[in-house]
A and B are shown apart, each in its own frame.
Chain A
Amino acid sequence: MAGNSEPLSPRAKLAVTAGRAAAAVSKAAGRGSGSVIGGKVALRLDPDLLSRLAQHLDVILVSATNGKTTTTRLIAEALRAAGPVVSNALGANMPAGITSALAGGSDARYGVIEVDEKYLAGVARDTEPKAIALLNLSRDQLDRAAETRMLAEKWREGLTGSKAVVIANADDPLIVWAASSSPNVVWVAAGQEWKDDAWSCPSCGGVLQRPGDDWVCGECGFRRPVPSWALNGDYVLDPHGAAWPIQLQLPGRANKANAATSAAVAATFGVPPQVALERMYQVQAVAGRYDVVTFQERQLRLLLAKNPAGWLETFSLIDPPPTPVILSVNARGADGTDTSWLWDVDYTRLAGHPICVIGDRKLDLAVRLEVAGLDFRVCADADEAVRISPPGRIEVIANYTAFQDLRRRVGN
């Protein structure tokens, strides 16, 4: 069990030490936190290091297109009620970053690990997790990522025969397809506002019928499983039918869904929903997301949205008009270099808000908003966009590297 296995081998210890040294050098050189380079160095010295580190822990993996960093944080907070936790809280979610994070937590009992979608099957093989939380899958970075349905298929193959309890979203047909090869699944009705990647049956290709919250394939009968946990408005319903109020500092429906899933994961480790949810309330911002910063005497709320499903969930949580909105989009490597996805986002939802657009690809946004029939201003940068907005709250929505740029400029 966790914490009492045999100690790390000398080779593994050396790898951990070398990794820490590399991370410290990288950090001192001003190149970020150093966690990825540290993990790479350590894995080169001991390729099995991730497995070795994981042996000492009860591992929980979290993967999804959207919400994995936040959910990892919520689960980590909840499980701290039961014992020390180590986690890749900053979102370094590929094997090197994960290895580095685990190497920093030698006294932990639980390892709560966010995993990039493409690496889930491999990390699950290496770490033999006790639980795996699967939230949602939708289109993201289509110029370089695998097709969305193929990802679900790879998860399905990778999870076949896994001993982990899989906590999975019953409302996302692709997630259900991925999870239903596992013998032990806890279904959570967590909702999924974005539906446009799951009109085809993942099993047979038939057209899914979606009356209300239900879904079923008219051809092969593949259908929504009966959930044992559910998000219901501001409450999470547990398998006994008890309703627990969700109170979060994090905004929006999607985070309530993340909390519902996290409560189901915590219960798997004996942490009751009430305790888990109270601990989740502590979380204010996650790696800068949802952070409210003061800049030029305005209060900027920083919101990350990387793909159509993420933008849709973000529109539903912002303050109503006339709250100004600043949109920033880049198309660098980490964002995906194709901006076509902007046209899968329904920007008419922003009608009534004063809108400014910034970022490397502000002209794509300008044409998108023009065609949506919205008024907007194109600004040189965040400074100008904030300056021409009225005092008070401003909602700032940005994709990945645009969000990093923004934090660097306006962050505390």
Chain B
Amino acid sequence: MRSTSQNGLRLVWVYPDLLSTYGDQGNVLVVERRARQRGLEVSRLDVRSDQQIPTSGDVYLIGGGEDRPQRLAAERLMRDGGLNRAVANGAIVFSVCAGYQILGHEFVNDLGQRQQGLGLLDVVSTRGEGARCVGDVLADIDERLALPPLTGFENHQGVTHLGPTARPFARVRFGNGNGAGDGFEGAYSDTVFGTYMHGPVMARNPHIADHLLKLALDVNALPPVNDQWYEALRNERIAAATQPA
């Protein structure tokens, strides 16, 4: 087992210089806050793309970014190799949008070329032909994860197809998600997660942050915290997704 309890929780925010354009660093802030509220010690490490990815982290968070930064991030993560080693050690990775695509086998970059990803998720992403997917989303998270419905904001042109070893993270009720026509949103496999949802997604779905904490700590339950404002926001955004303007 991992030695989380001895050293506190080690959070790694991957490449904020390239993949922190759409507010996704909120995911780091929410995970950090909810860990501290449970009395855990937390160290947050922001790793820029000219620095090495440490392999000793417990939870790695990756955000969305623009098209050229996505290409650069994928190149640098491939060269670095640290994220793949961390996952082999059992680390948890949660990725959003451009970061999600990078974790797959391949995606289409800003030059219109197919570019190799890290292969940590059995997915392949292409660029959609239709209009950009922009707006509030409501989806049901995979029942094996036993989490309440997913609310988020999507803003992407990507289409992501799941291979046999990836499970859909959620099934869309309102909005687009992966946009592949199968009704899926995001993907996961063991400890590696990907989603198109911004918002940021943890701010609207604190149960996902708690789920990552439980995985990292290898526990089934966490002490409750006051979720009054998260719940109020969730209710408002779920209503907004079901009644688009």
Is B one of A's binding partners? Answer: yes
Select from chain A the residue with minimum beta-carbon distance to B21. Answer: A139
Which of A339, A340, A370, A372 has its CB near the most chain B CB atoms (within 10 A)? A340
Contact A338 B155 (CB under 8 A): yes
Kindly state whether residue A207 has any CB partner on chain B within 8 Å: yes
**Nearest-CB distance from A3 to chain B (Å)?**
45
Kindly state whether residue A342 has any CB partner on chain B within 8 Å: yes
Kindly state whether residue B41 has any CB partner on chain A within 8 Å: no
Select from chain A the residue with minimum beta-carbon distance to B96. Answer: A340
Kindly state whether residue B178 has any CB partner on chain A within 8 Å: no
Give bound CA distance, A200 to B25, whole Å: 18
Contact B203 A148 (CB under 8 A): no
Contact B198 A338 (CB under 8 A): yes
Q: A207-B48, A366-B232, A373-B33 are in contact. Are A340 and B198 (CB under 8 A)?
A: yes
Contact A340 B200 (CB under 8 A): yes
Which of B30, B50, B233 has its CB near the most chain A CB atoms (within 10 A)? B233
Q: Contact partner of B23 among A149, A199, A343, CB < 8 A?
A: A343
Which of B50, B229, B230 has its CB near the most chain A CB atoms (within 10 A)? B229
Contact A337 B134 (CB under 8 A): yes
**Considering only CB atoms and an 8 Å cut-off, how many residues of chain B contact the other chain?**
34
Contact B153 A338 (CB under 8 A): yes
Give bound CA distance, A197 to B16, whole Å: 10
**Nearest-CB distance from B44 to chain A (Å)?**
13
Q: Contact partner of A337 among B17, B66, B135, CB < 8 A?
A: B135
Give bound CA distance, A205 to B74, whole Å: 13
Kindly state whether residue A147 has any CB partner on chain B within 8 Å: yes
Select from chain A the residue with minimum beta-carbon distance to B203. Answer: A367
Q: Contact partner of B203 among A143, A200, A344, A368, CB < 8 A?
A: A368
For A218, the chain B residues whose CB sits under 8 A away are 50
For B232, the chain A residues whose CB sits under 8 A away are 363, 366
Select from chain B the residue with minimum beta-carbon distance to A333. Answer: B245
**Proximity bits, B136-158, A CB within 8 Å = 1, else 0:** 00000000000000000101000
**Proximity bits, A357-378, B CB within 8 Å = 1, else 0:** 0000001101110111100001
Kindly state whether residue A196 has any CB partner on chain B within 8 Å: yes
**Proximity bits, B45-83, A CB within 8 Å = 1, else 0:** 000111000000000000000111100100000000000
Contact A205 B72 (CB under 8 A): yes
For A143, the chain B residues whose CB sits under 8 A away are 134, 153, 155
Give bound CA distance, A142 to B153, whole Å: 12
**Proximity bits, A164-201, B CB within 8 Å = 1, else 0:** 00000000000000000000000000000000110110
Kindly state whether residue B129 has any CB partner on chain A within 8 Å: no
Select from chain A the residue with minimum beta-carbon distance to B232. Answer: A363
Give bound CA distance, A179 to B198, whole Å: 33
Contact B233 A367 (CB under 8 A): yes
For A370, the chain B residues whose CB sits under 8 A away are 33, 229-230
* Additional A-B contact list (16), CB under 8 Å, known A150-B66, A340-B24: A142-B22, A143-B155, A147-B67, A199-B17, A200-B72, A205-B68, A218-B50, A338-B22, A341-B22, A342-B23, A342-B26, A343-B24, A343-B200, A344-B25, A370-B33, A372-B29
Instruction: Enumerate 21 A-B pairs (CB-CB under 8 Å) in ascending A order.
Output: A142-B22, A143-B153, A143-B155, A148-B66, A196-B16, A200-B68, A205-B69, A205-B72, A207-B17, A207-B48, A207-B49, A218-B50, A338-B22, A340-B22, A340-B200, A341-B23, A343-B24, A363-B229, A363-B233, A366-B229, A371-B29
